[in-house]
Each structure stands twice: as structure tokens, then as C-alpha cells.
Structure 1
Amino acid sequence: MTQTAPRVSPREVWLLTATFLVAVAGLIYELIAATLSSYLLGDSVRQFSFVLGIFLASMGVGAWVSRFVRDPLPGFAWAQILLGLVGGFLAPVIFALYAWIGAVALPLYTMLVGIGILSGMEIPLIARVLKEIGAPEFRFENVLSFDYLGALVASLAFPVLIVPHLGLMSASLAFGALNLVVAGLSLWVFRGRIGVAPLAAWLVAICLTGLGLWQSERIVSVTEAQLYEDDIIFSEATPYQQITVTRFRDRVRLFLDHSIQFDSYDEHRYHEALVHPAMGLVPAPRNILILGGGDGMALREVLRHPVEAVTLVDLDPRVTDLFSDHPELAPLNDHSFDDPRVEVINRDAWRFVEETRDAFDVVIIDLPDPKNLTLSKLYSREFYALLMERVAAGGAVVTQAGSPLYARQAYWSVVETWEATRNPYAPGEGLNVLPYHELVPAFGDWGFVLATVEDPASLELDLPEGLAFLNGPVWAAARVFGSDVERMAARVNSVRDHALVAYYVDGWEKWFR
């Protein structure tokens, strides 16, 4: 006799669908919290690790707490309503607190714990509901499969679709709305089995979230206006970073992940000091490589010299596009991206250096500070050794190296790392390493490290005409360090231990936290 397959009821289908949806929302909240902590608290690896650990531990607490929920159906509805509010308003609340009071660690982790506990309650409650409604052939692993599938979808969609198209603020509210949709549909599917109180709370929550979504752009504008002193003329979250450009009269500033990259009032000091010593010490530099520098300012300075080709490698295409085409930003670099000698490659710097076979007379490293492991690897002995294989005989490399005042040990760690890098043209010998620094008012006392394959015959620079800041006496003074910024003991930075990140974070926290 043929056995008929058990009929799956619409309620079972909905509960499994709800499992998938709440898993998506839960992981999105975790990723938003991790991104927020990285943006606002620094050291992305440390913060991602903290967020992951605290969230998973909180989920464990939530799974344990779920046993005390007498009726799983109303319990699941309440969990979704509370998640819609706490998770939905996670980013708006944290950004607002950061803008107004500057302290976000405690509220961020408090909200994360709440979200984790509520998320941990979901699967046990759904499993109990499935058993209560007599789901035939119920297997707990089926629920977990839908949960893990939702986590996969969220992890893939977050960097590719959600951040670029919604941004953190709207994404937080949108997935809060998703939890509320799950709550609302559950209230309807199981109508008659859930009381009036969850319905009333759901109506209030959906109105608040709807209002938040409707006013999300205004919330972003008000919060950013509080964060930045000047008018915001551009703001966008890309898969790589948050880009913000501000303006006050004729003064323009660029911020990446809320950290200033240049101020048009004094950027000439930074970029002239970065570019011209290396260009001026190498005889007749022709082929130049710039790593980072997507704003085109270093490129502008390079093009003051009679070069033949410049390759600029920057990870984020949105930055290079913005400073190529934006009518208010392209003039800042003298429309340097339009020069036919320039080739722009949007790629990871390590991968580019690893795969190119070109030889460069001068390499200029204009990358963000090494505040996390991803950036620290580009300040490592391993990367420098690989890079020196791409430097022509008689060539030079220069890197921005942070502040010898604010992060003194980090700066000298970069110097130590260059001194520990082998010279490909003189096996067994090191490079000629020259540390120097300048005052850039927007940043403070700022340091650079220049490394040459050969010992320069003279340290006098062959400078182009028309520079606004750098000259012979300034260059001579730049190589002198005062007692509070002079050399101190520091370890070489390696991909094995990333000593530089701890030096950097500790130094800046000493001054500004």
C-alpha cells in the first residue's frame, strides 16, 4: 500500500519562511553593529571580534531565556516587535549619540546584547510553535537549515547591495521593518491565538519605523551636520568605506570613514612634502607609481615633473571617479586624471604589486593610516620587500607614516620596518632610509619615510617651480626631530604580528580618548 506524503500546512511554510527572514535580519544587525564599531571606535579587527563574540554569547543567553516563555506564539511575536525597534533604530541611535556626545561604546554594546538575546530566542520559539501545531515529520535541523541559509544571504548581500544602496542608517530601519513584517504576518496567520497587546505594540512600532524610514534622509542630514563643522556636499557609503566631502566657502575637506584625509587650506603642505623629496632625489624619474591617493592631489604634484607615465592604484573606484568628474572636486587636483600620461587602476595595492612586472622610478604610498590589520599589511616588511622588487635601479619609495607626535611609536615602527627591508640591488645590505616630518595644521605634526635603493649623492632637492610650501630650508628642517618626537624603540611591523596596529591605536587613544 502506497504511503501518502504528509501534507505541509501554510502555517508550517510561514514559520520556515519566517526563520529565513529573521536570520537575514539578525545577521544584518550584527554586521551593522560591527561596521559602526569599526567606523566610530577604530581598530576594525578588534571591534569585529568583540561584536561577533558578544552577539553569539547573547544569542546563547536568548536561547536559554526562551525556556521561560510560557506561550511561544506571543513570545515570538513580541521578540519580533522588540527586534524591529531595537535593531531598526540601532544605527540612528548610535550615530546620533556619536554626533551629540561622542561616546558610543556602552550604548552600542548594550543594544547589541539586546538584539543578540532577542535573536537567540527566535529559533527555539519557532521550533516549539511547529511542535505545538503538530507539524508532521518535524525535524529541528530543517529549522536550522533555513536559519543558516538566511545568514548566508545576509552576509553576501550586506557589502554588495545593502551598504552601497541603502547605507547603514536606512539599512538598519529597513531590516527593523522586516522584523515587524514578520511579526505582523505572524499575528495574522495565528490570529485568535495571540492577544490584543502584541497587536497594539506592533501598530505603534510600525508607525515609528515607518516615520523613521520616511525621515531617514533628514535624520542622516541632521546627524552629519552635527558630526561635521561645514556643509556636506557629498556623502556616500561604498562597499569599501564611507565617503564624506564638506565645504565652507572655498574650503573643502574629505573624510573617509569619518577620518579627515585632506583640508584644501593646507593639503599643499602634506602633498608637497610627500611627493617632491622622492621625486627630487631620483635623477630624471619617468615612470611613477602612486598607491592610494584617489583624490588626485599627490598625482597633481607628480605631474609638475617631466614624467612619462603615472600609474595610480586605489581600491575604491568611487573616490577616483568623484575626483575625476565632480565639478567642485576635480579642480582641486587640477583635473590631473584627464592627463593622458595617467592610468588609474582600481585594485588592492598588494595584489597589484604582486602581479605587475613594471619597474617604477618612484613609488609614492598615500594610503590611510594603519589602524587595522587590512591596512597594516601594506605597512609590513613583507609588502615593502615585494614592493622593492618593482623599484628601478636608483629609484625611491616614500610613504606617509602617521604622526610622530600623536602616534610616536607607530611612526618609528614604520622607520624600523623600512630599515629591516632587504635591498634587492645589494643583497645583504639594507635600504637608505630617511625619516622626515612637517606640520600640517589639519593633521598636526605629520611624518613621512623615504627609502632609496642607493645612498643619494646629495640631499639637495631638484624642486619644480611654483611650490607653495616646500623649499630648501624647509626640507633641511624637516629632517630634524625634537625631543618629544625623536626616535624611540619600536618593533618591525610584520604580517605575522602586526605590531604597528597596537602602536597606532594606543598612541591616538592616549591623546584623544
Structure 2
Amino acid sequence: MNDTPVPAPQSRAREVWLLAATFLVAVAGLIYELIAATLSSYLLGDSIRQFSLVIGIFLSSMGVGAWLSRFVAQPLSGFIWAQILLGVVGGFMAPVLFLHYAALGTVAAPLYTMLIAIGVLSGMEIPLIARAMEAVGAFENRFENVLSVDYVGALVASVAFPLFVIPQLGLMSASLAFGVLNLMVAGLSIWLFREHVTKAIVTVWAVALIGALYGLMQSERLVSITETQMFEDDVILTEATPYQQITVTRFRDRTRLFLNHSIQFDSLDEHRYHEPLVHPVMSHAPRRANVLILGGGDGMAVREVLRYSDVETVTLVDLDPRVTEIFRNHPDLSKLNNHALSDPRVTVTNADAWLFVETSTGSYDVVIVDLPDPKTVALSKLYTRQFYGLLMERMTAQGIMVTQAGSPFFARQAFWSVAATLESTRNPGAPGQGLDVVGYHSYVPSFGEWGFVLAGPQLPVDRAPELPEGLRYFTPEVWQSAQVFGADMDKVEAEENTLQSHALVAYYLDGWDYWFR
């Protein structure tokens, strides 16, 4: 095979194709990187750490690939081989990782191995395309044009991934679809440069394309297989949103919600979480006409709030519109919250909690913070002194708040860091002082011991709570015992959490790693 310059009549068309191919492979390469980063954050946790690792490994692997490209004697055939291999490795990355995780419970080794391979192959593309353009007679500005198109492709991919790729395709289908794209680029390149292509390339390409197309057609079945292996119960709903992977499972009359494969509630025992979350703050609030709930898109906390007849408005703020839509409209799931999200007193706002609190002009008697655990810096900011200070500005003079604060058993310092942070938050009713704080806990079988922190300018918690009828767990006696911590959960020294320190993230990760890794 000999990659010699082609006649002039053909060179222009081939030059245009190589630039178009540069755009397409740039889109595919960045999509693979984003799929790897998303999968690693779903399956390994700590999204900031995983995104940083994936980006660093991918870029360094691209550098290796760019260096290795010098040893490829025939750039046209080398580029085609790179596309075939990317179509296979990148296309089957998500299926392999999901199946590996479902079968063995680990994913790091195959994830980083495939990521390195994709990075090396992607790094070879630009040098090979630049040399191929020279081979077809495109000498002028060949490298600059290739780089410009490559950067545009990266921009398109970064915009399309959250807006179109994940909502419309999901991770499994997206991986296979862009694998097919790489193989289609290889196929058209084979046809355009057919005088330089061997039968071996054509045979391997055809087999790879058939395999990728078959995988794409079977992607829904692959999702079902992996979901069945990953979850104990029947999967009744699963979909990827721009924010997370939503999975709902059921066994008989037991329903469970998983976000990014982490359990959020089990209908069998969720009352042991939501009743302690809501009723201490509601029963002790001097006034509860206007209630703000941050998080809790499943509507369970709203359900408990609406037990109080004097509640006039409930504002629920949850980032993912799909979660609130499912728990408002799904006929079975909406029953779990007693159709609370359809109540005329309830306003659902899909927004970032920080931005909502920062820009809101509302004034609230009760604030309930039911946000995800502070396992990343992005989530930790919602547990900082600065955020709690913003919340105080949105509360009425006698308003009080509660936040879920993780497990005082599994992540003891993290729990007491949340309490210390609230204690150091400026008290609007007593300048120079912090907030009144009461920590308490509840045993939830799905989670273990779980903690909450009640806070406000002045907490009237000495009196017994006046509770609504129909509660399944929470009583005045439970409230008294909930404030007593055993020696292995009692208060320990912990730093307050701020935007500068984010001490809470380390406390949280260290605590859970100690027990479960």
C-alpha cells in the first residue's frame, strides 16, 4: 500500500472530506470523554474527582497518541485504522463498563484502560489527518485548518452532550451511536481512498460496523440486562437526564428510587426519614404559612408538610425537572406522596438551590433542606456558612430551618461539621452570635443511623411537639430520644464548612470510606 499524492481533480473533494472527518471525529472523541467522566461519577462517586481524573488521563493519552503517530508510515490507512478501533473501543465502552460493574461490582480498571486507548487513538487523529491532507495535495494551511475544525467539533460536542445526547440517547445508546459514527467515517474514507486500502481493512471494518449496529439495535436490551443485574428488584423506570441517572425499582408493594445508582428512598421505611425530617421543624415553628423545601423532588417531604392545615404555600426547589415530573404524573409513583405535587398550594421550581435562594424575593416561615449528601465540592457549597447565611435572609423573623446532615454514625465528623457550620452562621436576631442548633437522629433501615440539624435565631424546642394525626413513626417520645446520641455518635470537634475550606467533603468521604471501602 502506498499513500502517494493524488491527482488534482480528486484532491479538493478529498481535502473537504478530511476536514469534515476532523469535525466528526472531534465530536465523537469528546463525547467518549464525557461518557467516561459521567459513568465514573455515576459508578465511582465524587464527580469532581472523577471528572478531573478522566480529563487528565484522556489529555495525557492524547499526547502519547500524537507522539506515536510519527511511527505510522501510511497516514491515510493509519487514520482509517484509528477510526475502526475507536468505533469498537469507544462504541462498546458504556456496555462493557455497565456489564462489568453489574457482574463484579467494580469498574475502575476497565474504565481507565478503555479511556487510555480512546485517548491514544484520538491523539493520533490530528497528526494523521494533517499528513493525509498533504498526501492529497492540500499543502496550504493544512494544520491550522485541521486544528480549527477540531476545536469547533469539541464545542459542538460539549453543548450537545447535556442538551441532546444524554436526554435523547442515554449513555448506552450514545456510546454505541458514536461508535457507529467513527465506523461510518472509516467507511467513507475507505471508499474515497480505495486505491490505498487493503482487503484486510475492509473486512475488519465491515465486521466492526455490523457488530456496532447490532449493539445499537440491542441497546435497550443491554440496558435491561445490566439493570436487572445491578438491582435486586424489577426495574419499572430508568432514564438518564442531563443531571443524573434515574432508576425506580419495585418488588411486590415495595418501591425504591435510585439516583446515580445510590438509593434515595425505600417505600418500606421512607417514613422513618421523612417524618423526622419534617415534623420537628414544622411542629416547633411559631408560624408555618409559607414553607420552602430545597431538594426532595420525590414529593415525600411535601406530603408531610401538607399534613398541617395552616400551611398556605409550599415552594419546592429541585434541580432535575424529570424527577418532579415523574413523581407528579406517574400514576403509581404519585401515590407514594399522596399526589402532593399536584396540590394547588404547591409550586414546583426546577432550579439550582443556591441560585434560587440567592435571587428569591420570597420570605419563608420554615425551610427544609433535603439535598444530596455533600460528597463533592459542588454539593458541599450547599452546606456552607455562606449558604446558610443566605437562607437566614429568606426566613421570617421567627423562622426556623432543618437540614438532613448525613449519618452521625458512618460519617460522624461530617454530621457535627454541619452542626458547627450552622452554629457559626450569623444570627439575624442576635448580632455577633450564631444560630441556635439542635442535632438529632433516626434509624432508617435502608441507610442506617441518619442525622438532622434544626437551626434558627431562637429555637422553641423545650415544649413537646404537637403532631398531626396519621404518622407511622414519629411521636413526642421519639423526638426526645432522637436528641440523645450514643457515645459512638456524640459530638466531636469538627471544622465549620465554608466556601474556602470545604472541610465537609473530606469528613464525609473519609467516614464512608472507613466503613465501606
- Report if TM-score (shorter chain) is over 0.5: yes
Does 1:121 find its partner at 2:91? no
* Matches for 1:410-421 after TM superposition, within 5 Å: 410-421=414-425
3-state SS in 2 of match to 1:395? strand
1:51-70 to 2 correspondences below 5 Å: 51-70=54-73
User: Could you say which residue in structure 2 is the equivalent of 1:195?
Assistant: 198
For the pair 1:301 / 2:282, whether they are aligned, the reply is no
Structure 2 residue 474 is the aligned partner of structure 1 residue 470: yes
In the TM superposition, what are the counterparts of 1:181-330 in structure 2 within 5 Å? Answer: 181-306=184-309, 307-330=311-334
Q: Which piece of structure 1 moves more, 155-164 or 454-463?
A: 454-463
Report the counterpart of residue 37 of structure 2 in structure 1: 34
Give 2:345's aligned amino acid.
Answer: R
Hey, what's the Cα distance between the residues in 1 that align with 2:453 and 2:388? 12
Matched AA of 1:301: E
> What's the secondary structure of 2:369's corresponding residue?
strand
Is structure 2 residue 79 aligned with structure 1 residue 76? yes
Greater displacement, 281-290 / 86-95: 281-290
> Contact conserved, 1:131 with 1:138, CA < 8 A, in 2?
no
**2:167 is matched by which residue type in structure 1?**
P
Distance across 1 between alignment mates of 2:88 and 2:11:
32
Pair 1:363 & 2:367 matched: yes
Shift in CA distance, 248/18, structure 1 to aligned 2, threshold 3 Å: same
The corresponding residue for 2:4 is none
Contact 1:8 1:136 in 2 (8 A): no
- The alpha-carbon deviation at position 455 of structure 1 amounts to 3.5
Contact 2:364/2:396 (<8 A) preserved: yes
Partner of 1:3: none
Matched, 1:444 2:444: no
Q: Deviations over 1:124-176 (max 9, x none)?
A: 00111111222142431110000000000000000000000000000000001
Determine helix, strand or coil for the equivalent of 1:52: helix
Q: Which moved more, 1:248-257 or 1:371-380?
A: 371-380
Following the alignment from structure 2 to structure 1, what is the Cα–Cα distance between the partners of residues 437 and 361? 24
Amino acid at match of 1:216: S
Which string of whole-angstrom CA distances, capped at 9 and with x for unpartnered residues, describes residues 262-314 of structure 1? 10000011000000000111123211110111111000000011211111111
Q: Verify the 8 A CA contact 2:11 2:136 in the aligned structure 1.
A: no
| Mapped pair 1:427 → 2:431 | yes
What secondary structure sits across from 2:195 in the alignment? coil
Secondary structure at the aligned position of 1:283 is classed as: coil
1:499 aligned onto 2:506: no
In 2, the alpha carbon distance for the partners of 1:337 and 1:224 equals 28
2:398 aligned residue: 394
CA distance in 1, matches of 2:91, 2:461: 63
Q: Aligned partners of 2:342, 2:97: CA distance in 1, in Å?
A: 41
- Per-residue CA deviations over 1:45-73 (Å, capped at 9, x if unaligned) read 11101100000000000000000111111
- The DSSP-based 3-state class of the residue aligned with 1:16 is helix
1:165 has 2:189 as partner: no
User: Tell me, what secondary structure is at the counterpart of 2:194?
Assistant: coil
Letter in 1 for 2:484: V
The residue aligned with 2:17 is: 14
Q: 1:184 to 1:7 in 2, by over 3 A?
A: closer
Question: Shift of residue 507 of structure 1?
Answer: 1.6
State the 1:430 CA deviation. Answer: 0.9
The structure 2 residue matched to 1:43, chosen from 42, 46, 52, is 46
* CA distance in 2: counterparts of 1:212 and 1:133, whole angstroms: 35
**Letter in structure 2 aligned against 1:96:** L
Q: CA RMSD in A?
A: 1.3
Unpaired runs of 5+ in structure 1? 1-5
The aligned amino acid for 2:250 is: R
Counterpart Cα distance in 2 of 1:183 and 1:487: 62
Question: For the Cα contact (< 8 Å) 1:279–1:362, is it kept in 2?
Answer: yes
Equivalent residue, structure 2, for 1:481: 485
Partner Cα distance (2:456, 2:140) in 1:
72
Write the letter of the residue equivalent to 2:509.
Answer: V
- Supply the AA of the counterpart residue of 2:383: Y
Using the size of structure 1 for normalisation, the TM-score is: 0.97
Distance 1:395 1:321 in 2: 29
Aligned length: 509
Which residue pairs with 2:180 in the alignment? 177
Identity %: 67
User: What is aligned with 2:111?
Assistant: 108
8 Å CA contact 2:287–2:399 kept in 1: the answer is no
Following superposition, the deviation at residue 388 of structure 1 comes to: 0.7
Q: Tell me: CA distance 1:457–1:38, structure 2 relative to 1, closer, same or farther (3 Å).
A: closer
What residue identity is the alignment partner of 1:336? A
| Residues 156-208 of structure 1: per-residue CA shift (max 9 Å, x gap) | 00000000000000000000111100111111100011211111110111111
Q: Which moved more, 1:352-361 or 1:428-437?
A: 352-361
> What is the identity, as a one-letter code, of the residue corresponding to 1:441?
P
Which residue does the alignment assign to 2:152?
149
Aligned residue for 1:383? Answer: 387
